[in-house]
Chain A
Amino acid sequence: MSATLTEPDAAPRTPTTRPPRAPRESAGERPRRKSLPWAPWLLLAPSILLLCVMVLYPTIVMFVNSFTDLQIKNKMLGTSPNFVGFDNYIEVFTESDFPAVLARSLGLMVVLTVLIVVIGMLVALLMTKLSKGWRLAVSIGLMLAWAMPPLSATVVFGWIFDTDYGLVNWALNTITGTQDFRGHSWLIDPMSFMMVLVIIVVWQSVPFAAVTFYAGLGQVPDEVLEASALDGASAWQRFRLIIMPYMRGVLTAVLVLETIWNLRIFTQVYALQQQGGLASETNILPTYLFRQGLGEFGVTAAIGVFMVILLMAISYFNVRSSLKDEAEL
């Protein structure tokens, strides 16, 4: 039983490490060509079914819709939509504000991902140096920020940065002893809007990165670190040459996840746009999609398909390059 279960597990293990050990194992390994192990598949079946219903089916429908002019009307009256070929895609890509939205989304994604990974790593390293009590306090603090629903967090930050009665304006006026910040709008300027947005998202995303990195740091063997320290490696060298290689898998996972999450943030941007600023100059792909006309399913599906392809391309590139690195180790 246990043999059949570990069999599929063994497959992805790097093939390059095998040949040297082959002579010892070759005796019993060869003739194993068993029929499909179906106990694992049976265990997987419900999840696969669920994934098909919840992920695969909507994706296919979205793909199909992106080539039609489907409207609410079609659904309500039971008529079928017209096939329009690539019209929706052409409409989206030739829209005058689309390049700006795309550039804004990608820029925001890069800034957010870099900040989250760097700050997350610093917090994780900090946690390894803390005493037990402080570590607990930091962990609880991280969890609280993480557990806060994004909408509530955004509304609260919106109040903090409020134009008329906000905490930030009050504090800045008090500190500077002037009235310069009375009625200062933090959201009306797109760059300033993005700054507030970055603060909100980073504040809430660092906990995940920090906790994951902290777990990863536990895997770095102490004896290697100690040996290198005795050999005179500086802290930065130890981090770069020992900790980072051990952490590569964790880092890749966090990078891929953060990239995907940061390219499709919606709640924070949308809620912040409700509180001020100009939606047309602060839209990113998901809010741009949402703000298309009422029930414009074809165009929104086309944007959706584009986002899926974009995300898959970015993740593929990331995963592949990290697998390559791993193989070279």
Chain B
Amino acid sequence: MRKLGIAALGAAAALTLAGCSAGGGEESADGGKITVWVVGTDTPDTAREYLKDTFESENEGWTLTVEEKTWADVSDTYAAALQSNDSPDVVEVGNTQTASFADQGLFLPLTDFPADDYLPGLVESATYDGELYAAPYYAGGRIVFYSEQILGATPVPTTLDEYVATGKALKTDTRSGIWAPGRDWYNALPYVWAHDGFIAEQEGDEWKAGFSSEGGIAGLTQLQDVYVNASNAAKDGDETDPQVAFCAGEDVFLSAPAWVQWSITAPADAEAPGCADTFGSDLRAFPLPGLEAGETAPIFAGGSNVAVATKSANPEQARAALDIMAGEGYQTLLAEGGLTPGFTAAAASLPDTEIAKAQADALANSKVTPTTPKWAEVEAAQIIQEALVKIAQGGDVAAIAADLDAQIEEILNS
């Protein structure tokens, strides 16, 4: 009797453990789930639907889910997810980060991929140790948006100095001449590059950072002028949701990725409200001008690649999904959305608008961050952003730049 009681106690106690039910695994040869992670809102909905429909009709019994991540997730959340047994199957990753993920063994190498049909810059960013680890997804460049309702009769600037001068002249207490939040480092790079500064260059085995080079200081000094005298944006703000200030009529010039045009021209009552009827109605854009009239400033060649996760439970189907995303049909939809497609031939479908042309002109003169797997560490440490915030606060440019270079060199040469 007593023993029975004890056995019952044990059973009751064990039951409390069973409260945590076992998660179900969905393994089967002819059916299952593929998860695709895209980053940010720039992948158009038409493309997402096309991917899901095409994949599910070509693979009987399989379903595909597209999940949207933010750029802030790409470092830590990605690293954690990609090494877990619950890894997503296909992921979009920034072009500057691809090498580091490949270096950690998180991506499967892509065999038999027709790399020759794709943008060489993106293919290079996805190649590590002689092997291709990701398919080029899209490229994007930053262009300068403006509305004639605000710019008025002022002529569009033709040189970088004129651009800054116009921005300073048109700034009021409630209006930014140039909207420049301090942590928007992609928009800071053109100033450095235009004055012949550089991020980091390889000298033999050593990396040498160049923000404190003569050109780097000149560029950052001009940038400080913009932050302090032309911009009302938060000195420690980042570049998310640039359409908010623009649509409030608080920006004369807004330098932002080309796809921001869709955020600006969204209806005022959309879930993410734009201003189709006011400042978005006559939206125009030009490539950031360079030091001399008639040339453009070198901009950062932004872009993404897509890769198959090493830990994907179904690499074969994951590759099939990746092939759809890199294929002509899907890439054409990206082009129609204003993104420069990774698949070169799809570029013919780019809309024939002033904004698309401005982006193409801007991208023609573009540069990338240093190609080393260590670069992702520089981005994750956010040291460039922090240096820019200090510059935006009016700090000593030379000292901040020297400090920044030391930090970059320490990471790249470690």
Evaluate contact between A73 and B103: CB separation under 8 angstroms.
yes
Q: Is A318 an interface residue (CB 8 A)?
A: no
Residue numbers of A with Cβ under 8 A of B are 38-39, 42-46, 49-50, 71-73, 75-77, 162-165, 179, 182-183, 185, 187-188, 274, 276-280, 290-291, 293-295
- Neighbouring A residues of B100 by C-beta, 8 Å: 294
Q: Which residues between 171 and 195 of chain B lie within 8 Å of chain A, taking CB atoms?
A: 173-174
A38-B6, A42-B9 known; 18 other A-B pairs, CB under 8 Å?
A39-B9, A45-B13, A71-B104, A72-B105, A72-B106, A163-B234, A163-B235, A164-B234, A164-B237, A164-B245, A165-B244, A183-B232, A187-B236, A188-B235, A188-B389, A291-B381, A294-B380, A295-B104
Contacts of A278 in B (CB 8 A): 236, 386, 389-390
How would residues 72 to 115 of chain B score, 1 for a CB under 8 Å from any chain A CB and 0 otherwise? 10011001000100000000000000001001111000000000
Q: List 16 A-B contacts (CB under 8 A).
A: A44-B13, A45-B13, A46-B17, A49-B17, A73-B103, A75-B83, A76-B104, A163-B236, A164-B233, A164-B245, A182-B173, A276-B234, A278-B390, A279-B386, A293-B381, A294-B100
> With the chains together, A162 CA to B245 CA distance in Å?
13
- A73 and B72 contact, CB distance less than 8 A: no
With both chains docked as a complex, state the minimum distance between the C-beta of A194 and any C-beta of chain B, in angstroms.
15
Question: Do residues A294 and B234 form an inter-chain contact, with CB atoms below 8 A?
Answer: no
**B57 on the interface (CB 8 Å rule)?**
no
Contact A73 to B386, CB < 8 A, known contacts A39-B6, A46-B13: no
A295 and chain B: residue at smallest CB distance: B79
Q: Which of B79, B105, B245 contacts A294 (CB 8 A)?
A: B79
Q: Which of B104, B105, B234, B377 has the most chain A CB atoms closer than 10 A to its own CB? A: B234
CB contacts (< 8 Å) of B9 on chain A: these are: 39, 42-43
Hey, which chain B residues are within 8 Å of A295, CB to CB? Answer: 79, 104
In the docked arrangement, what's the CA distance between A149 and B26, Å? 32
A46 to B390, CA, bound (A): 54
Contact A76 B6 (CB under 8 A): no
On whether the beta carbons of A76 and B235 are closer than 8 Å, the reply is: no
**Chain B residues in 8 Å Cβ range of A188:** 235-236, 389, 393
- What residues on A are CB-neighbors of B235 within 8 Å? 163, 185, 188
- B10 contact set on A, CB distance < 8 A: 42, 45
Question: Contact string, B305-330, partner A, CB cutoff 8 A, digits 1/0?
Answer: 00000110000000000000000000
CA distance A277 to B75 in the complex (A): 20
Given contacts A76-B106, A185-B234, A280-B386, whether A293 and B380 have CB atoms under 8 Å apart is yes
Binding site for A on B (CB under 8 A): 6, 9-10, 13-14, 16-17, 72, 75-76, 79, 83, 100, 103-106, 173-174, 232-237, 244-245, 310-311, 376-377, 380-383, 386, 389-390, 393
B275: shortest Cβ distance to chain A, in Å? Answer: 16
A46 to B380, CA, bound (A): 41
The residue of chain A having its C-beta at the shortest distance from the C-beta of B233 within the complex is A164
Which residue on chain A has the smallest CB distance to residue B373?
A294
Shortest beta-carbon distance from B336 to chain A in Å? 33
How close is A208's CB to chain B, nearest CB, in angstroms?
Answer: 25
Which A residues are in CB contact (< 8 Å) with B236?
Answer: 163, 185, 187-188, 276-278
With both chains docked as a complex, state the minimum distance between the C-beta of B374 and any C-beta of chain A, in angstroms: 9
Q: How far is the CB of B86 from chain A (nearest CB, A)?
A: 14
CA distance A291 to B383 in the complex (A): 11
Closest to B382 in A: A279
Given known contacts A164-B233, A277-B236, A280-B386, A294 and B310 CB-to-CB distance under 8 angstroms:
no
Tell me, in angstroms, the Cα distance from A39 to B237 when the chains sit together: 60
Q: Point out the residues of chain B lying under 8 angstroms from A179, CB to CB.
A: 173
Docked Cα-Cα span, A188 to B235, in Å, equals: 8
Cα of A73 to Cα of B13 in the assembled complex, Å: 41
Assembled-state Cα–Cα distance A280/B103 (Å)? 27
Q: Please report the C-alpha to C-alpha distance between residue A136 and residue B310 in the assembled complex, in whole angstroms.
A: 55
Chain B minimum-CB-distance residue to A166: B234
> Closest chain B residue to A179 by CB distance?
B173
Q: Which residue of B lies closest to A280 (CB)?
A: B386
Using Cβ atoms and an 8 Å threshold, which residues of chain B touch A274? 72
Chain A residues with CB under 8 A of B377 = 293-294
